[in-house]
Chains A and B, each alone.
Chain A
Amino acid sequence: GENVEQHPSTLSVQEGDSAVIKCTYSDSASNYFPWYKQELGKRPQLIIDIRSNVGEKKDQRIAVTLNKTAKHFSLHITETQPEDSAVYFCAASNPDSGYALNFGKGTSLLVTP
């Protein structure tokens, strides 16, 4: 089955700096890659997603890049703010498993003022 690896597990940045989180996946059949933000005790919320026919997508301060050949994708957050502090999860969706999501183990991001 699909295996998604995510790094780093924790990340601390100063307010205004950029943050980058990287993920790799193993199954070339995976074709949809969402990123979720989860605050403590809350449900995951989608922040951005990308499909396998696109290399990059941007939404204001958030961008995602995808390298299908290398099977890795990354989340970039620019001009970080304290409210960006949360756990971020990458995931990969595979048609062979009903498009269920295979998640990375998460990155705990702390943005200090």
Chain B
Amino acid sequence: DGGITQSPKYLFRKEGQNVTLSCEQNLNHDAMYWYRQDPGQGLRLIYYSQIVNDFQKGDIAEGYSVSREKKESFPLTVTSAQKNPTAFYLCASSMTNNEQFFGPGTRLTVL
């Protein structure tokens, strides 16, 4: 449970606005992931990073961007190009091919 945090818990975005979701971990994990969850759906992969200064697109990367400047941090920016961003966003971290630990999530709503 502990060791991975996300902020804010709730976020409201206006049309045309970029917003950034924070994800921090102190578990010394190499890999970090961003997933999006919509009602009645499983989690879908947005971006992942296996090492600092490197990241890869997931299945639904359009309209999102990330950075991995520090091992502990993997922020996600939801840009205005993402037309339907209202969802529950979950960040996770792991040692390679082991249990992924999830943060508490950020619920993003478009006004």
Contacts and interface: CB of A to CB of B under 8 A. Distances in A.
B53 interface: no
B2 to A, nearest CB: 11
Interface in A75-112: 89, 93, 95, 97-106
B102 interface: yes
Interface residues of B, number: 28
B52 to A, nearest CB: 14
A15 to B, nearest CB: 26
B100 A101 contact: yes
Nearest to B58: A100
A34 B100 contact: yes
Contact of B103 (A43, A100, A102): A43
Contacts of B100: 34, 46, 101
A46 B100 CA distance: 8
Classify chain A's interface size.
20 to 34
Given A34-B99, A99-B96, A99-B97, A106 B58 contact: no
A98 B50 contact: yes
Most chain A beta carbons < 10 A, residue from B43, B50, B59, B102: B43
B21 to A, nearest CB: 14
Given A44-B43, A89-B43, A99-B94, A49 B48 contact: no
